[in-house]
């Protein structure tokens, strides 16, 4: 076994203190997804599951510090809610983390996994796996100014640096130089050139056993697994080896999966959420947002997949897709689409 693993397993880090802020690491979370997990999406997902930990889209430190919009806006109903930050300057990250804590976020997550060219040009995302000491400095800078947990979402490797030893060295360095005790591991390596972000989610092979081994070698850490997980049955299998499961695209494209999370992964006595009732429960939120000038389509694009596999689902999607973007589209548009499902039940 690699000497750093042996060293860490027998070091003072064996007893990492209880997480700051009192937020328990979630057994299940919905992944941060750029252009998808905005505040409307998260409000909808919270109606489906009370227990899932929700993440924002990645927000850069530059957007928060210099942007004209409010990139930290959210609804109080979204808790527990984590902010994913993109950046590599410790002082800027600390500044943004402090603002986020003041705004009420429950966790800060540092993006060390996104492989896009734009992100690399900003010197953050997956390229930071090659700068473990800097990642540790970033995490420590945030921990020094806030009381809520700081976590890291990363890959299992980058480019030709994809050995298990490399992954262990990265984790070892971050843990030894900060109090980070929770990593979310996307079980694919990232190619920093030659592949698009979409291809990086599909082409590099998944290596779940590597993440399982990481948990065995770093038992004192809390590890969540991410990448290619499409069902709660798969999630249960992973939870036999790691502490948490993060699902991304499947949760977005087939959000009905979230209706079963609380019962299947948290409390067997919890009711399964009724998806029709969830759509109706969204009405007051929609009306409130419309009164503030939000376009209906900005909300309904996140709920198109809720009835996947149910009679009337195609008509539901078509009606919303064709009408929600029209001027004056309101709650009646959603009600009409819902009738196309309920009349077939």
Write out the catalytic residue numbers. Answer: 114
**Residue 296, marked binder:** no
**Residue 312, marked binder:** no
**Residue 241, marked binder:** no
Burial class (CB in 10 A: 0-12, 13-18, 19+), 128: buried
Q: Of 338, 345, 339, 4, whose CA–CA distance to 165 is shortest?
A: 4
**Residue 228, marked binder:** yes
Q: Of 138, 108, 111, 90, whose CA–CA distance to 21 is shortest?
A: 108
Q: Do 45 and 22 contact (CB within 8 A), yes or no?
A: no
**Residue 32, marked binder:** yes
**Residue 216, marked binder:** no
Q: Which two tokens stand for residue 72?
A: 């930290």
Q: Which two tokens stand for residue 99?
A: 């603002």
> DSSP states of 157-200 as a string?
-BTTB--HHHHHHHHHHHHHTS---EEEEESS-B-SSSS-HHHH
Q: Do 135 and 151 contact (CB within 8 A), yes or no?
A: no
Say whether 153 sits in a helix, a strand or coil: strand
**Residue 177, marked binder:** no
In the chain, what are the helix, strand and coil shares in percent, each to the nearest 5? 50, 15, 40
**Residue 33, marked binder:** yes
What distance in Å separates the CA atoms of residue 120 and residue 130, rounded to the nearest whole number? Answer: 12
Residues in the chain: 345
SS (H, E, C) 8-68: HHCCHHHCCCCCHHHCCCCCEEECCCCCCCCHHHHHHHHHHCCCCEEEEEEEEHHHHHHCC
**Residue 227, marked binder:** yes
Residue ranges of the binding site for FMN: 32-34, 84, 153, 186, 226-228, 248-249
Residue ranges of the binding site: 32-34, 84, 153, 186, 226-228, 248-249
């Amino acid at each position: 076994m690699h000497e750093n693993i042996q060293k860490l397993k027998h070091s003072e880090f064996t007893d990492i203190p209880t997480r700051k802020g009192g937020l328990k690491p979630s057994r299940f979370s919905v992944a941060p997804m750029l252009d998808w997990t905005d505040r409307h999406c998260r409000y909808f997902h919270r109606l489906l599951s009370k227990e899932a930990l929700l993440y924002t889209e990645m927000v850069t430190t530059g957007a928060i510090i210099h942007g004209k919009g409010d990139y930290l806006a959210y609804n109080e109903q979204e808790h527990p809610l984590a902010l994913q930050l993109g950046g590599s300057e410790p002082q800027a990250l600390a500044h943004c983390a402090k603002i986020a804590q003041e705004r009420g976020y429950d966790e800060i997550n540092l993006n060390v996994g996104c492989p896009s060219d734009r992100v690399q040009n900003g010197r953050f995302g997956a390229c930071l796996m090659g700068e473990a000491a800097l990642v540790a400095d970033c995490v420590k800078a945030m921990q020094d100014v806030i009381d809520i947990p700081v976590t890291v979402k990363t890959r299992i490797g980058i480019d030709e640096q994809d050995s298990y030893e490399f992954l262990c060295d990265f984790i070892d360095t971050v843990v030894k130089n900060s109090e980070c005790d929770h990593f979310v591991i996307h079980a694919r390596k990232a190619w920093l050139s030659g592949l698009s972000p979409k291809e990086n989610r599909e082409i590099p092979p998944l290596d779940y056993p590597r993440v399982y081994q990481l948990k065995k070698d770093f038992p004192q850490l809390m590890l969540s697994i991410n990448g290619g997980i499409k069902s709660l049955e798969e999630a249960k299998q992973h939870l036999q080896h790691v502490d948490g499961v993060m699902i991304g695209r499947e949760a977005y494209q087939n959000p009905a999966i979230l209706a079963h999370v609380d019962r299947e992964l948290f409390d067997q006595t919890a009711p399964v959420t009724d998806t029709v009732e969830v759509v109706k429960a969204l009405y007051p939120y929609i009306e409130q947002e419309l009164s503030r000038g939000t376009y209906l389509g900005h909300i309904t694009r996140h709920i198109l997949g809720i009835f996947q596999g149910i009679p009337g689902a195609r008509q539901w999607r078509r009606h919303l897709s064709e009408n929600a973007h029209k001027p004056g589209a309101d709650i009646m548009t959603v009600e009409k689409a819902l009738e196309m499902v309920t009349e077939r039940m």
